Amino acid sequence: MRCPLSAILITLSAVLATSSYAQPQSTLQDPAAAFFDDSQVREIRLYFDDPNWYTTLQRAHQSDPADPYFPCRFSSSGVTIDKIGCRFKGNSSFNRNGIKKPFKLDFNEYDDNAAFFGLKKLNVNNFDLQPDFMREKLLHDLAGRYVAALRSVYVRLYVNDAFYGLYLAVEQPDKTMMQSRWGSSEDGNLYEAEERMGDSRPNLTWLGASQAAYQNIYILKTNEEQNDYSRLISFLDILNNTPAADLPARFEAIADVENWMQGMAVNNLVVNLDSYLGAGAEYYLYDRMRDGKFVHIQWDHNESFGITGDGTPRLAVPATTDPFWLPTAATGGGPGGGGAANNARPLLEKLWAVPEYRRLYLRALARFLREGFNPSWMTARTNQLAGLIREHVAADPNKAYTAAQFETAINSTVGNIPGINQFVRDRYAFLRGYLDGQAQPGDVRINEVSAPGAAPWVEIHNLGPGPVSLNGFYLTDDAANPAKWAFPSGRRLADGEYLIVRLDNDAAEGQVRANLSLPAAGGTLYLFATAVSATVPLDSVTVVPAAEGQSQVRIGLHGNRWEITGTPTPGADNVMTAATTSATGRLVINELMADNKTAFADPDEPGAFEDWFEVHNPGAEAVDMSGMYITDDPSNPTKWKVGAGVVIPAGGYLVFMADNEPGQGPRHASFALSADGESLSIHATDGVTLIDTIAFGPQTADVSFGRAGGAWSLLASPTPGAANSAAR
């Protein structure tokens, strides 16, 4: 294999944002980012020694249950691999479109060490049901802003040096993709929720405790040898069988609710019924090791923007699909017919019944409209893509649609397929009106608080889904005086809008200057809305120490978690960056060992080798940890309280024993770490504010896991109480 670009590593400065703020990321080395740079049309060349390669691949895909790969030589972007696996893929996309079939490429089919820009597999899709050549690409890009979605790039495909057509190269959901999103240590179970003929489909219903009931519809794609479905079965048990009152606490412990709600909202947005929403299939589930939570992975986007498998709408007017649409016997489609069991969608039914999750879902839809799914943005993007691919569409010798249909489909209907911009215009108009009507005072919250200084401020944010009048809203630092400062009369916050209120105790200087000051650390700001309650605050935040140039920001789209950031963003989405000055009490979990056999002896119990973790103070002053909380259970942030007198000097490292023996001293936690993987978190003395957290997977005996060059890795040697060694 010749791979002149194999040494090129592209550092992702921002991986997929999955919340209302950008999470702090490890420095992930992701060579595939270079290939998926879609500012240009790329080129892929396949070479078959078999002169009848087309017939060979076609017959195998049609009639061989094994659907085998066949050898070919691969060349693209300066990389040549002498032998990879190649086959046709797809069902409807294979049977339609003449000879222009979609391909699947397996770079390590014949060589376990072979890869292309770090990728093990690549899908090469043929624009099935896409006279516009772009709806699949548009959906990848839109979804990728918010959830773990596939990346894609246009390619000219050549077979034996003959131009075969314009295709879309699409990322494969696999371990490589999971590691590119969440770190090199990711090794969780990935399941394909596969659409199959029969009576059952992967619609997340409870089928009992037996693994056999699930393994034919949720296909395990990683860690196949272990063949372990236990956590998936637990996920489905919690979802389906937990009493409604207990569901949020139990479900959030095993699932990333923001990810699921945003993923479902994406599918409704573009009326993608070939998904969990409609077919009850065609997606992936990943059991993320970083925090032990299941996430939804988008997949198979050709039947979107209002069309289904035969190119016609399943719904009479797709653009007016209700945001809470669910399949019925009449509208449910897919294998197994429209029976009640197959039409059940417990994830949506259960989560939509939780008011907070229902609002989260509506707010996600509103955010999509603001940030891309609107006529202005989409027209500009489709014009950009059309300019990029127009000449390649015209030259495509095997395209299923004409160049004239390509031009028409960008804006207008071709056959039964609505034009991209036509659909976006109609869908946007319907959803905008619907969402505006769903606005509530409770959508407004405190979102960010500056550090003390010459001009302190607080940021108020309307999360959406619609505009909210601030009449009857008050801000106060005294819960006994709810109406201390009234927001300006007639002020209205649009969906997603931010308002900065100066806390300088000088209301006369302007309408957004409050007659109160920023509370000192430990003080509280309250937001009241009389339309909700004159005595119970709508929202509040307890102020924690922060240094000049920092701010305190709310984390996530729901809940009440706060963090200190080194990048204040008044009037914009919160951004999480490390705030490391000692004045904030900002500490970092630096190293841990969850399977300590002989590596480090307990200093307070000679001869004992027990779990341990290390906390680092990167600041210039000592930090007193007395009264802070450390936990291995995200649902119980105050599990163990650090004893009095525990101080970390400036630049220092402090080792805690996780031995479940708190009686041995103030650095002995009341829990042990799990060698199978779990999480570890530090909270401030209020028991709420998160200081640092890390989720880790299965550990190796006497090998520590720690920070190395900005990323978490297994370390070459354990270094308790000192700077970390290099990664193994």
Strands 498-502 and 457-462: antiparallel
Dihedral class, residue 413 (left if φ above 0, else alpha if ψ from -120 to 50, else beta): beta
Question: Is residue 728 in a domain?
Answer: no
Q: Any idea what the CATH number is for the domain that residue 697 is in?
A: 2.60.40.1260
Averaged over 637-644, what is the pLDDT?
Answer: 91
| Same domain for 429 and 456 | no
Name the residue with higher pLDDT: 687 or 481.
Answer: 481
Name the residue with higher pLDDT: 654 or 303.
Answer: 654
Print the domain residue range for 639: 583-714
**Which H/E stretch holds residue 486?**
strand 485-486
Question: Is residue 36 in a domain?
Answer: yes
The strand pairing partners of 409, in sequence order, are none
pLDDT grade for 199, boundaries at 50, 70 and 90: low
> What is the rounded distance in angstroms from the CA atom of residue 321 to the CA atom of residue 269?
9
Residue 3 scores a pLDDT above 50: no
Note the pLDDT of residue 198.
Answer: 61
Nearest residue to 332 via CA among 301, 306, 308 = 308
Please count the structural domains in the chain.
5
Cβ–Cβ under 8 Å, residues 632 and 658: yes
Cβ–Cβ under 8 Å, residues 187 and 175: yes
**Looking at 28-37, 323-332, 551-560, which range is the least confident one?**
323-332
| Same domain for 198 and 169 | no
**Which H/E stretch holds residue 355?**
helix 355-370
pLDDT tens digit sequence for 691-711: 887 877 778 899 999 887 556
HEC string for 59-89? HHHHHCCCCCCEEEEEEECCEEEEEEEEEEC
Nearest residue to 360 via CA among 464, 472, 212 = 464
| Same domain for 613 and 572 | no
pLDDT tens digit sequence for 13-25: 222 333 333 333 3
Question: Is residue 183 in a domain?
Answer: no
Token pair 């659909």 is found at 423
**Per-residue tokens: 597:** 């056999």
Note the pLDDT of residue 29.
Answer: 56
DSSP string, 275-325: STTTTS-SEEEEEETTTTEEEEE----SS-TT--TTSS-SSSSGGG--TT-
| Same domain for 59 and 154 | yes
Note the pLDDT of residue 623.
Answer: 87
Tally of CB atoms within 10 A around 352: 18
Question: Is residue 13 in a domain?
Answer: no
**Looking at 6-15, 278-287, 445-454, 480-489, which range is the least confident one?**
6-15
pLDDT tens digit sequence for 64-98: 999 999 999 999 999 999 999 999 999 888 988 89
pLDDT tens digit sequence for 341-391: 678 999 999 999 999 999 999 999 999 999 999 999 999 999 999 999 999
Question: Is residue 495 in a domain?
Answer: yes
Note the pLDDT of residue 531.
Answer: 94
Averaged over 87-115, what is the pLDDT?
Answer: 94
Note the pLDDT of residue 599.
Answer: 94
pLDDT grade for 276, boundaries at 50, 70 and 90: very high
Averaged over 165-187, what is the pLDDT?
Answer: 93
CA 24 to chain centroid: 13
| Same domain for 249 and 164 | no
Number of helices (H) and strands (E), helices first, in the chain?
A: 14, 35
> What is the rounded distance in angstroms from the CA atom of residue 473 to the CA atom of residue 458?
14
| Same domain for 274 and 192 | yes
Strand order in the sheet with 444-450: 498-502, 457-462, 444-450, 551-555, 561-565
Averaged over 653-681, what is the pLDDT?
Answer: 92
| Same domain for 353 and 312 | yes
Which parts of 421-456 are beta strand (E)?
444-450
Nearest residue to 268 via CA among 172, 382, 335, 364 = 364
Residue 115 scores a pLDDT above 80: yes
Does 465 sit behind a cis peptide bond, omega within 30 degrees of 0 on the bond before it? yes
> What is the rounded distance in angstroms from the CA atom of residue 120 to the CA atom of residue 74?
13
The rounded mean pLDDT for the chain is: 88
| Same domain for 220 and 143 | no
Averaged over 471-495, what is the pLDDT?
Answer: 95
Cα separation values, 346 from 128, 238, 261, 327, 343, Å = 30, 11, 13, 12, 10
Residue 563 scores a pLDDT above 90: no
pLDDT grade for 509, boundaries at 50, 70 and 90: low
Identity of residue 24? P
| Same domain for 592 and 573 | no
Q: How many residues does the chain have?
A: 728
pLDDT tens digit sequence for 604-634: 888 899 999 999 987 767 888 999 999 998 7
> Which of these three, 344, 364, 384, is where a domain ends?
364
- CA angle in degrees (0–180, nearest 5) for 495-496-499: 105
Residue 562 scores a pLDDT above 60: yes
Note the pLDDT of residue 546.
Answer: 74
pLDDT grade for 576, boundaries at 50, 70 and 90: low
| Same domain for 381 and 331 | no
pLDDT grade for 310, boundaries at 50, 70 and 90: low
Question: Is residue 726 in a domain?
Answer: no
Cα separation values, 204 from 26, 196, 214, 218, 304, Å = 32, 15, 10, 10, 22
Tally of CB atoms within 10 A around 664: 14
| Same domain for 323 and 289 | yes
Question: Is residue 386 in a domain?
Answer: yes
| Same domain for 131 and 83 | yes
Measure the CA dihedral 618/622/627/633, to 10°: 10
Strands 283-288 and 190-193: antiparallel
The model's pTM: 0.78
CA 122 to chain centroid: 21
> Which of these three, 558, 578, 598, is where a domain ends?
578
Note the pLDDT of residue 525.
Answer: 94
Note the pLDDT of residue 508.
Answer: 65
pLDDT grade for 12, boundaries at 50, 70 and 90: very low
Task: Please give the DSSP secondary-structure letter assigned to residue 663.
Answer: G
- First-last CA distance in the chain: 26
Question: Is residue 719 in a domain?
Answer: no
> Which of these three, 364, 397, 412, is where a domain ends?
364
Note the pLDDT of residue 27.
Answer: 36
Cβ–Cβ under 8 Å, residues 14 and 22: yes
3-state secondary structure of 245: helix
Averaged over 513-535, what is the pLDDT?
Answer: 90
Averaged over 591-616, what is the pLDDT?
Answer: 93
**Per-residue tokens: 71:** 């050898």
Note the pLDDT of residue 275.
Answer: 93
